[in-house]
A and B are shown apart, each in its own frame.
Chain A
Amino acid sequence: MPDPGIRILIVDDFSTMRRIIKNILKQLGYENVEEAENGADAYEMLDVEKFDFVITDWNMPVMDGLGLLKKIRTDPDQKHLPVLMVTAEAEKDKVVTAIQAGVNNYIVKPFTAEVLKEKMDKIFGG
């Protein structure tokens, strides 16, 4: 069972997408979910609020998911934060780039609740 206390930040520039992911998370039992619409806003939120998990899109204006990931990994306070990249852009070289930057896992749109659960279980050792 998911820990209901887990606080998750969804980062995506498309609000419909954020809603869809939020709904899937809710289905999995995660209710404590916040949203940001690009990497820069997300990073700002991480600075003031505590999150346990980040689900981020790759392709966003202002700061993309990779930029956010790099910022998180180089921030002493945040570098352990698990990050899941959600994107329709799943080229091998992209995946490689993301892993190099320290992503915990990679998930391709559209995905089901089952796939997300599987990834999260892996990340959280469930």
Chain B
Amino acid sequence: MSDGMEEIIDDFITEAEESLEKIDPLFVELEEKGYDSELMNGIFRSVHTIKGAAGFLGFQDIVDVSHKTESLLKKLRDGDLGISSDLITLILKSVDMLKALLQIIKTKDARPADMDSLLGELDSTLAAVSETASGGSPAAEPTMQDEADLAVAETAQEWPEDDIRLSEDTHVPPVEEALEPMEPPVPAFEEEAPEVPEPPVAPPVEEAPKTEPMADESEPEPELEMDEDLEEASMAEAVSMAIDSVLSLSDEPLAEEALKATDVKAEADETAVAAPASDKPEEQKRSASPQQAQPAKSGMRTLRVDVDRIDKVMNLTGEIVLVRNRLLNIAGYLDQKYAGDDHVDGLQESVSFLDLITADLQLGVMKMRMQPIKKVFGKFPRLVRDISQNLGKDVHLSISGEDTEVDRTVIERIGDPLVHIIRNAIDHGIESIAERQRKGKSAKGLVEISAYQQGSQIVIEVSDDGRGINVPAIRAKALQNGLVSEDEGQRMTDKEAINLIFNAGFSTVEVVSELSGRGVGMDVVKTNISKLNGYVDILTTEDAGTTVRINIPLTLAIIQALMIRTGGVQYAIPLGVIEETIKVTQEDIDNVTGQPVLKIRDRVFTMAELTDVLNAPAPEHELADRYVLVIAVGDRHFCIAVDELLGQEEVVIKAIDGIDTDATGILGATITGEGKIVLILDPAGMSRVVSGLKGV
């Protein structure tokens, strides 16, 4: 296959997937609101468009499924069918099938096994409608080219000359010299008429006629059969020819469009993409995607850029940050050594300027990678609908802050954990309708999903108004499982007890059924969020509901860090989690059952030596006269003792292959201003290790 064809197919898949993504939320809205022609048209258009393009590219399975789905949608739109849950489920199933078929183009797998049964289901639903609906109007069936020609010819024949507005006007060619004289269309159509020995159709109606009036004019049975034969023959032929025609083309016009070939739409930020945007403003205006089309006139322009290119710029920016750090360091040193030297002053000035530019560049690149979280949230209406329907619950979903922008890596990775949390909220949080009524709550449960930015963090919350988490049951279960000792269990605050559900040990069905609470896979949620350098909090009130709050840093690649040294080794700790740094003496440190604790302004914190946390060689100091970092991960606070505080630095996180962040508490590595390689510590990981330490 030529590159050109592959590129068109790639584009088709991307565009068709985007188109299908829009359907789920529309349908859920349709189900809630009842019939709405605007929503219906949106859904119809998505399926219709995919059918059209798939036909050209020879994806017959997609054509089949979308054709039948479209027919069903048409019945809905024309009022031959009422909206029912079953029907919507069937259509959503078809949409899922279309998504699966698009995947198959990529993976080249065999067609899904349930494809035929779905087609059968669609057929029988359609057939049932045709029987019940008045006459099952064949006029509503989409026809193929020959039929269209036929209709054109018949219409032209039937009409008195002056009814056809075109006949007088169109024969004047727009550019007399450039064009052959243009024939009026009517005579042209009439040439075809003699070949068509069909009975004339109904006389034209002024507006688009409904299907029923035309139904009695023709014979449903034979015409339907003919349709299908025609369809098969001409489509197969058309497909192969279309492919040939695409194949035989040169790549020249395709290369032009290579830029569009991806899944990230970078918004044309003045700084970020000014250069390419100014190249071909016309083309960009037109290639803006449909959903962003409305402000096209007000100058909003988009450009599709390959993700790899953006990532490359991102990495290079990271390298610049490192070089900048190094230069700042050297310039500072030179400034001290050769104070007053003109060249050193010049160097200082240039480096400060570089510092500013780098910060702007970093922000610009970061913004380029940001996408609205709508991309993830958009799937939830359908999810909530499906889950609550399965469980026989009535749940209303409210979404806010879907325009909040997050890094694309977050978009890619936050979906699964959120699905899990939402499923838990409906399954275990929201009570059955009967139970809710008994408690005096409204029968309809509420799940709220929101996203917002808070400083350098993105906060995503999933709340329900269900029964809340049964904390005593968690304590009992943790004790029974040996997760905590009796003593620990008693010392634990409610918050700490709730956090136990993040332990892998809680991920058993048995626990869930016993607790009627959460637990399934919450450890997986925590792991996934940790990978985004984020953390999860749970707030729960009995019978009032539960909120799961996720905090994720705005950018994943570059963070502000505190540089420290302990046991002779330098480390970086993300600054965001450090509440304060203090110097303590031996008197400040207590010992509770072998675990050192630190009392700061009447609050008691668990304390650990960093070298113990990291399992590194211990320092030769006493615990006294140490620097201590008070670290907050979510609601959990603890203290880490280190030898020296070195200062704040912006670090670029470089992942280390083969390092398990959860087990080691190491997030990655970076290169310092002095050019040294330093490990970056993961606060969430440290927190876990600290709670596992028994006495130092």
Contacts and interface: CB of A to CB of B under 8 A. Distances in A.
B232 interface: no
B151 A96 contact: yes
B245 A24 contact: yes
Nearest to A60: B45
Nearest to A106: B148
Nearest to A44: B297
Interface in B243-285: 245-246, 248-249, 253-254, 257, 260
The CB with the most chain A CB atoms within 10 A, among B4, B45, B239, is that of B45
Contacts of A107: 145, 148
Contacts of B185: 103-105, 122-123
B249 A27 contact: yes
A50 B173 CA distance: 13
Contacts of A3: 178-180
B692 interface: no
Contacts of A35: 286-287
A44 B293 CA distance: 13
Contacts of B55: 88, 109-110
Contacts of A90: 142-145, 147-148, 151
A96 B159 CA distance: 10
B170 interface: yes
B178 A6 contact: yes
B290 A91 contact: no
A16 B182 contact: no
A8 B142 CA distance: 27
Interface in B315-363: none
Interface string B284-296: 0011111001101
Interface in A15-42: 15-17, 19-20, 22-24, 26-27, 34-38, 41
A109 B235 CA distance: 9
A20 B145 contact: no
A24 B164 CA distance: 30
B180 A14 contact: no
A100 B204 CA distance: 9
A73 interface: yes
B612 interface: no
Nearest to B172: A80
Nearest to B163: A100
B175 A61 contact: no
Contact of B53 (A16, A26, A95): A16
A22 B288 CA distance: 17
Contact of A6 (B42, B179, B294): B179
Contacts of A60: 45
Contact of B52 (A38, A109, A112): A109
Contacts of A17: 49, 52-53, 56
A22 to B, nearest CB: 7
B145 A41 contact: no
Nearest to A126: B180
Nearest to A45: B286
A45 B51 CA distance: 27
A93 B139 contact: yes
Contacts of B297: 44
A1 to B, nearest CB: 11
Interface in A54-110: 57, 59-62, 73, 79-82, 87-97, 99-110
Contacts of B235: 110
Contacts of A38: 290, 293
Contact of A13 (B174, B181, B204, B290): B290
A60 B181 CA distance: 31
B139 A92 contact: yes
B411 interface: no
Contacts of B119: none
Given A41-B293, A59-B48, A99 B164 contact: yes
A62 B293 contact: yes
Contact of A16 (B11, B183, B204): B11
B452 interface: no
B289 to A, nearest CB: 8
Nearest to A52: B174
Nearest to B235: A110
Contacts of B165: 73, 100-102
B126 to A, nearest CB: 16
Given A19-B257, A112-B241, A52 B175 contact: yes
Given A23-B253, A37-B288, A104-B166, A92 B201 contact: yes
Contacts of B143: 90-92, 108
Nearest to A110: B55
A123 B184 CA distance: 7
Contacts of B44: 59
A83 B254 CA distance: 26
Interface in B351-402: none
Contacts of A14: 15, 19, 49-50, 52-53
B88 interface: no
B188 interface: yes
A45 to B, nearest CB: 8
Contacts of A106: 148-149, 151-152
A5 B245 contact: no
A88 B51 contact: yes
Nearest to B304: A15
A28 B175 CA distance: 20
A56 B144 CA distance: 17
B241 A114 contact: yes
Contact of B11 (A19, A52, A82, A104): A19
Interface of B: 4, 8, 11-12, 15-16, 19, 42, 44-45, 48-53, 55-57, 139-145, 147-149, 151-152, 155-156, 163-166, 169-170, 172-175, 178-183, 185, 188-189, 201, 204-209, 211, 214, 235, 237-239, 241-242, 245-246, 248-249, 253-254, 257, 260, 286-290, 293-294, 296-297
Across the A-B interface, the 9 shortest Cβ-Cβ residue pairs:
A110-B55, A112-B241, A95-B151, A90-B148, A125-B183, A109-B52, A92-B151, A16-B12, A88-B52
Given A73-B166, A90-B148, A110-B238, 20 more contacts: A3-B178, A15-B11, A15-B289, A20-B53, A20-B242, A38-B290, A79-B169, A80-B169, A82-B170, A93-B205, A93-B208, A96-B204, A102-B165, A107-B148, A109-B52, A110-B235, A111-B238, A123-B188, A124-B180, A125-B181
20 contacts: A14-B49, A14-B52, A22-B253, A23-B4, A24-B242, A57-B52, A59-B44, A82-B182, A91-B141, A93-B208, A97-B208, A99-B156, A99-B164, A105-B189, A107-B145, A109-B51, A112-B237, A113-B241, A122-B185, A124-B183
